[in-house]
Amino acid sequence: MYSGVKVLVTGCSGFLGPWLCQRLLADGAVVIGCDIQFDEQSRIHEMSDRIELVELDVERLDKIEDVISKHDVQIVFHLAAQALVGKALAEPLATLATNVMGTANILEAARRLQNSSKALKGIVVASSDKAYGEQDELPYLESAPMQGRYPYDVSKSCADLIARSYFHSYGLPVTVVRCGNLYGGGDLNWSRIVPGTIRSLLRGERPVIRSDGRLVRDYTYIEDAADAIARLGLKHLSADTTGGASFNISADIPLSVIGLVLLLLDATERQDLIPVIENSATGEIRVQFLNSGKLRDETGWTPETSLGDGLSRTVEWYRAHENLIR
Ligand SMILES: NC(=O)c1ccc[n+]([C@@H]2O[C@H](COP(=O)([O-])OP(=O)(O)OC[C@H]3O[C@@H](n4cnc5c(N)ncnc54)[C@H](O)[C@@H]3O)[C@@H](O)[C@H]2O)c1
């Protein structure tokens, strides 16, 4: 339990942030949420009476140190990132600055506070399946090397390596989490396949698939992912955990993009809207999915939500927030 434990969630105003904050609040944590900007539409505002919200740019090392010290933070969940693959291709430098230096800054702030009364008990860094790049062996295990090739992937490979280097070099209590594709309500990143497809279908438009539809990924419901991350953070509160470990988070269900879109046609009852296959995507790994056995073995985590239920809940969320999709 997190009863009374002070946690800082960076990037709290994005998609994963509010779900993680909600999970931590339910478990009794005192949550400080920070982001460079608070989108009016973000789910984080639904819980703003129970969270302290702080504007913070993770590219500002001095400010991070101030926030951690001022709030006596015990565990940091570092989610803040430029998390869009297409934007990273168009803006590699800005993406590297946020994802690589932003992560290094969080760790460096922790290192500076390490031998003080403000020392952190844990730092959980959101890496990604993309950090692995393309691998011959499927599903990916945590032991696979970091070999991103495209800008977003490389930014995540670097951030992941840097995070673990702060454990190996300075003994900082770091855990790295590598999620596959997450889906659920509240994702306002319309260039992503799940929210983009649902928006098209609810608008009565044919959904557009940028790839040839045959890319394979795994899909984890957002509340299950938030639960896994919260469980891993909790490990830092027990005396036997020093950190340095990485964990895949995945429901272990690989699916092609076209297979996913067809399920969304069913979930929205819009089988009449035949997908447009653009086949214009570049810089994407063709087949990528994770093995989450280590996470299951070490935390007892298991995904509670089947793909069918998760997609129905997701569609319901967007239906209930119709103003966002018009
Ligand atoms: N959503 C997924 O499918 C997925 C999969 C694997 C890994 N991840 C990782 O999980 C994390 C959260 O992803 P998400 O889907 O919520 O992304 P998101 O884009 O919805 O949220 C990221 C948040 O970070 C904030 N941010 C960006 N630059 C910042 C800065 N300089 N300082 C402070 N905040 C900043 C953004 O404003 C945004 O609110 C990211 O690190 C992402 O790489 C996500």
How far is ligand 1, taken at its centre, from the CA of residue 82, in Å?
6
- Evaluate: CB of 189 within 6 angstroms of ligand 1: yes
Q: For residue 326, what pLDDT is reported?
A: 82
Q: For residue 283, what pLDDT is reported?
A: 77
What's the pLDDT band for 240 if we cut at 50, 70, 90?
Answer: low
152: annotated active-site residue: yes
Q: Is the pLDDT of residue 239 over 90?
A: no
Do both 93 and 224 map to the same domain?
yes
227 inside domain? yes
Do both 68 and 200 map to the same domain?
no
How far is ligand 1, taken at its centre, from the CA of residue 274, in Å?
31
* Residue with CA nearest ligand 1 atom 42: 83
> What atom in ligand 1 is closest to the CA of residue 183?
3
Q: Say if residues 144 and 137 touch (Cβ distance below 8 Å).
A: yes
151/91 Cα distance (integer angstroms): 9
DSSP-assigned letter for residue 45 = G
Q: Which amino acid is at 288?
A: Q
Element (DSSP H or E) covering residue 33: strand 30-35
Residue 199 neighbours by CB distance under 10 Å: 17
128 inside domain? yes
42 inside domain? yes
Q: Is the pLDDT of residue 53 over 80?
A: yes
Do both 145 and 271 map to the same domain?
no
> What atom in ligand 1 is closest to the CA of residue 182?
3
300 inside domain? no
299 inside domain? no
Do both 85 and 224 map to the same domain?
yes
Q: What is the domain extent for residue 42?
A: 6-182+220-249
Do both 147 and 191 map to the same domain?
no
When divided into structural domains, the chain yields a total of: 2
Q: Is the pLDDT of residue 39 over 70?
A: yes
Do both 43 and 152 map to the same domain?
yes
Do both 144 and 121 map to the same domain?
yes
Q: Say if residues 251 and 303 touch (Cβ distance below 8 Å).
A: yes
How far is ligand 1, taken at its centre, from the CA of residue 282, in Å?
22
Beta bridge partners, 9, equal 33, 77
- Evaluate: CB of 53 within 6 angstroms of ligand 1: no
Q: Indicate which CATH number applies to the domain containing 57.
A: 3.40.50.720
Local structure of 135: helix, strand or coil = coil
- Evaluate: CB of 11 within 6 angstroms of ligand 1: yes
- Evaluate: CB of 195 within 6 angstroms of ligand 1: no
298 inside domain? no
118 inside domain? yes
Tokens coding 35: 């982001």
Q: For residue 43, what pLDDT is reported?
A: 98
294 inside domain? no
What's the mean pLDDT when you consider all of the chain?
96
Do both 86 and 120 map to the same domain?
yes
What is the tally of helices (H) and strands (E) in the chain? 11, 12
Q: Is the pLDDT of residue 223 over 90?
A: yes
DSSP-assigned letter for residue 287 = B
- Evaluate: CB of 57 within 6 angstroms of ligand 1: yes
Residue 281: closest CA among 132, 155, 152: 152
- Evaluate: CB of 102 within 6 angstroms of ligand 1: yes
What's the pLDDT band for 212 if we cut at 50, 70, 90?
Answer: very high
Active-site entry in 132, 140, 152, 166: 152
**In this predicted model, what pLDDT tens digit does every residue of 275-295 receive, in sequence order?**
999 998 877 899 999 999 999
Q: Say if residues 97 and 61 touch (Cβ distance below 8 Å).
A: no
Q: Is the pLDDT of residue 242 over 90?
A: no
Sheet holding 122-128, edge to edge: 52-55, 30-35, 6-10, 75-78, 122-128, 174-179, 245-249
Do both 262 and 152 map to the same domain?
no
Do both 129 and 259 map to the same domain?
no
Local structure of 211: helix, strand or coil = coil
> What atom in ligand 1 is closest to the CA of residue 181?
3
DSSP-assigned letter for residue 283 = S
Do both 201 and 164 map to the same domain?
no
> What atom in ligand 1 is closest to the CA of residue 187?
20
- Evaluate: CB of 163 within 6 angstroms of ligand 1: no
CA separation, residue 228 to residues 19, 145, 147, 167, 204 (Å): 12, 22, 24, 21, 35
292/294 Cα distance (integer angstroms): 6
- Evaluate: CB of 67 within 6 angstroms of ligand 1: no
* Residue with CA nearest ligand 1 atom 27: 81
Q: For residue 243, what pLDDT is reported?
A: 82
119/7 Cα distance (integer angstroms): 13
The phi and psi torsions of 83 (rounded to 5 degrees) equal -105, 15
Q: Indicate which CATH number applies to the domain containing 213.
A: 3.90.25.10
Q: Say if residues 22 and 4 touch (Cβ distance below 8 Å).
A: no
Q: Say if residues 129 and 152 touch (Cβ distance below 8 Å).
A: no
Residue 272 neighbours by CB distance under 10 Å: 8
Q: What is the model's pTM? A: 0.98
Do both 103 and 234 map to the same domain?
yes
Q: For residue 7, what pLDDT is reported?
A: 98
**In this predicted model, what pLDDT tens digit does every residue of 143-202 receive, in sequence order?**
999 999 999 999 999 999 999 999 999 999 999 999 999 999 999 999 999 999 999 999
